[in-house]
């Protein structure tokens, strides 16, 4: 099959419940009864999530909560489930699926949401004195977390000047029945929008969805460019517009079929803060504890028997088959008009760019473009390789570094690069000063452009000879 042109088969799940019913039919659902939100749920999530065939865990009942108030984890980190959500033909291997998705993203067309007057999320509405955040299961996921958290959220804010609606995925720590604090990393759109309100002396309206169908969560976790609404991307991903309804306190657009939504205001720092963190981060380290603006919740909307989502970071559990961050880097480079990008890998703070050079400085231009976009956020190294190197095969990447990179002339250090306070390598005094910048190394492991034609030829078996051998020696070469 020519996987680059295989037809996409999007699946428009009406809500999280419909998705879970499909997961159950696949045999991927496991119900866990009686687990405690104090570390047990987190530990089980991490231990089972490390398995390649990990199921979706449904915790019901949860200790100290009535049956029916459910929490699910490990929703996305399985290749088969990701294929369904992305509309990927199931017959493709994981390697083929990743290449196929790169072609699909190039065909992206925004599909705007539609508004409805009502929706299941408004089955129950609690406002003002009736608000109680503790009706939902807040979990201490890691042993040294600084409190009970919600994660896997889709958090809605609106820019006061342009009206741009952003949907980001942020974590929130419970303070009391009506108050929480969140972590919106410096430079993220939720952080930028909040500060626009604070400059005017106003709190920032916010709506926090705690359970939603998978396309919205994936879109919220993607680093879309400013002014590109995540709801438009989620609509394209699912093959149908996302249904939205207006919040009852903020008037923000919220998913009509969400399981639960918290509406409130992010207060200016001078109006009150509380300590947020530490929290176990994606890099496998605990982030620091620091003051964060209070978020006062004025309305809680939820369905009967709500399903809350949790996606805590644990080492060796995040398996993003479709590599959204790498695809974002590639699309940004192509938008800059940089030709010759043959492949991009992002993972663990390292971007690997495979590039077919066509002019002097071509490779370095691509590296700097990757650092300047949103996809390359939190990058420690950019590694440049030639088009004959598979960026997803680290053995090939390391071989190129060992043979084509001259450390004396092929390494560049860029300073004052955008980072985050959860970066484990930031010095404590920089964090205290709010200086969330770091350095990034560019490792050029390409053949030098000005004499690449004279670079020694690589030993290998040509495609023609390989095909001839496979034909003549089929039985010997069979697996």
CATH ID of 114-309, from 3.40.50.970, 3.40.50.300, 2.30.110.10, 3.40.1390.10: 2.30.110.10
Among 57-66, 314-323, 346-355, name the one with the lowest average pLDDT.
Answer: 314-323
Residue 344 in this model has a pLDDT that exceeds 50: yes
- Name the phi and psi angles at 130, rounded to 5: -90, -5
Angstrom distance (rounded) from CA 222 to CA 13: 19
Check whether 90 has a pLDDT greater than 80. yes
User: What does the pLDDT read at residue 318?
Assistant: 59
Residues 6+ apart with CB under 8 A from 77: 49, 54, 317, 318, 319, 320
- Calculate the dihedral angle through the C-alpha atoms of 351, 171, 271, 126, rounding to the nearest 10 degrees: 150
Looking at the DSSP assignment, which residues form a beta bridge with residue 266? 204, 295
Helix residue ranges per DSSP H, 130-288 = 189-199, 214-221, 230-238
Scanning 115-204, the segments in alpha helix (DSSP H) are 189-199
pLDDT of residue 424: 77
Evaluate if residue 163 carries a pLDDT over 60. yes
Instruction: Determine the pLDDT at residue 324.
Output: 59
pLDDT score recorded for residue 3: 43
Between 327 and 201, name the one with better pLDDT: 201
User: Residue 113 above 90 pLDDT?
Assistant: yes
- Which pLDDT tens digit goes with each residue over 296-322? 999 999 999 999 999 888 766 656 667
The top-scoring range by mean pLDDT among 93-97, 186-190, 446-450 is 446-450
Reply yes or no on whether the pLDDT at 4 is more than 60.
no
What is the gyration radius of the CA atoms in the chain, in angstroms?
24
Residue 187 has pLDDT above 60, yes or no: yes
**pLDDT score recorded for residue 2:** 43
Distance of CA 25 to the CA centre of its chain: 26
For the chain, the domains span: 16-105, 114-309, 324-454
Print burial letters for 159-197: b (CB count within 10 Å at least 16), e (below 16).
beeeeebbbbbbbbbbbeebbbbbbbbbebbbbebbebb
Tell me what the pLDDT averaged over the chain comes to.
89
Given the DSSP bridges, would you call strands 149-150 and 171-176 parallel, antiparallel or unpaired? antiparallel
- The stretch 198-215 carries a mean pLDDT of 95
Angle at the Cα of 318 from the Cα atoms of 313 and 321, rounded to 5 degrees = 155
pLDDT of residue 463: 84
Mean pLDDT of 291-299: 96
Which range among 150-154, 210-214, 289-293, 421-425 shows the weakest confidence by mean pLDDT?
A: 421-425
Q: If you average pLDDT over each of 45-54, 236-245, 363-372, which comes out highest?
A: 236-245
Question: Could you tell me if 370 and 329 are in contact, meaning their C-beta atoms sit under 8 angstroms apart?
Answer: yes
Greater model confidence, 475 or 258? 258
Q: Is the peptide bond before 278 cis (omega within 30 degrees of 0)?
A: yes
Distance spanning both ends of the chain, measured CA to CA: 21
Q: Under CATH, to which class is 324-454 assigned? A: alpha beta
Over 90: is that where the pLDDT of 474 sits? no
pLDDT digits (tens, 9 = 90+) for 235-258: 999 999 999 999 999 999 999 999
Give the number of other CB atoms < 10 A from CB of residue 413.
Answer: 9
pLDDT-based confidence at residue 5 (cuts at 50, 70, 90): low
Over residues 400-428, mean pLDDT = 87
**pLDDT confidence tier of residue 360, bands split at 50, 70 and 90:** very high
């Amino acid at each position: 099959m020519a996987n680059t042109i295989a037809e996409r088969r999007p699946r428009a799940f009406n809500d999280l419940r419909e998705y879970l019913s499909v997961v159950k039919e696949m045999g991927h659902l496991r119900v866990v009864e009686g687990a405690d939100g104090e570390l047990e749920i987190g530990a089980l999530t991490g231990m089972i999530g490390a398995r390649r065939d990990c199921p979706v865990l449904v915790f019901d009942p949860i200790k100290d909560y009535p049956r029916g108030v459910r929490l699910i984890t490990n929703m996305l980190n399985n290749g088969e489930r990701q294929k369904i959500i992305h509309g990927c033909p199931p017959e493709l291997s994981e390697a083929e699926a990743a290449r196929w998705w790169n072609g699909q993203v190039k065909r992206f067309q925004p599909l705007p949401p539609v508004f409805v007057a009502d929706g299941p999320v408004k089955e129950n509405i609690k406002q003002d004195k009736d608000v109680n955040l503790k009706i939902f299961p807040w979990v201490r996921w890691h042993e040294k977390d600084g409190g009970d958290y919600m994660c896997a959220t889709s958090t809605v804010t609106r820019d006061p000047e342009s009206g741009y609606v952003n949907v980001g995925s942020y974590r929130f720590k419970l303070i009391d029945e009506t108050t929480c604090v969140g972590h919106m990393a410096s430079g993220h759109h939720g952080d930028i929008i909040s500060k626009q309100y604070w400059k005017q002396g106003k709190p920032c309206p916010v709506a926090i969805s705690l359970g939603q169908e998978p396309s919205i969560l994936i879109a919220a976790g993607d680093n879309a460019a400013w002014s590109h609404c995540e709801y438009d991307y989620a609509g394209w991903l699912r093959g149908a517009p996302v249904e939205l309804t207006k919040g009852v306190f903020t008037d923000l657009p919220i998913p009509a079929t969400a399981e639960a939504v918290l509406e409130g205001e992010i207060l200016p720092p001078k109006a009150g803060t509380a300590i947020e963190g530490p929290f176990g981060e994606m890099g496998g380290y605990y982030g620091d504890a620091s003051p964060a603006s209070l978020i006062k919740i004025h309305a809680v909307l939820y369905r009967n028997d709500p399903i809350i989502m949790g996606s805590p970071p644990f080492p060796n559990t995040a398996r993003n088959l479709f590599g959204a961050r790498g695809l974002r880097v590639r699309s940004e480079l192509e938008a800059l008009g940089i030709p010759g990008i043959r492949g991009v890998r992002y993972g663990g703070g390292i971007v690997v760019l495979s590039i077919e050079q066509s002019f002097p400085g071509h490779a370095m231009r691509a590296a700097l473009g990757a650092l300047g976009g949103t996809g390359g956020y939190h990058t420690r190294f950019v590694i440049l390789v030639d088009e004959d190197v598979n960026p997803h095969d680290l053995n090939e990447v390391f071989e190129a570094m060992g043979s084509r990179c001259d450390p004396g002339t092929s390494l560049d250090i860029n300073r004052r690069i955008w980072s985050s306070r959860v970066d484990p390598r930031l010095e404590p005094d920089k964090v205290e000063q709010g200086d969330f910048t770091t350095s990034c190394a560019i490792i050029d492991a390409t053949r030098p452009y000005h004499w690449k034609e004279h670079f020694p030829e690589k030993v290998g078996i040509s495609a023609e000879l390989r095909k001839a051998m496979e034909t003549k020696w089929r039985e010997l070469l069979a697996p």
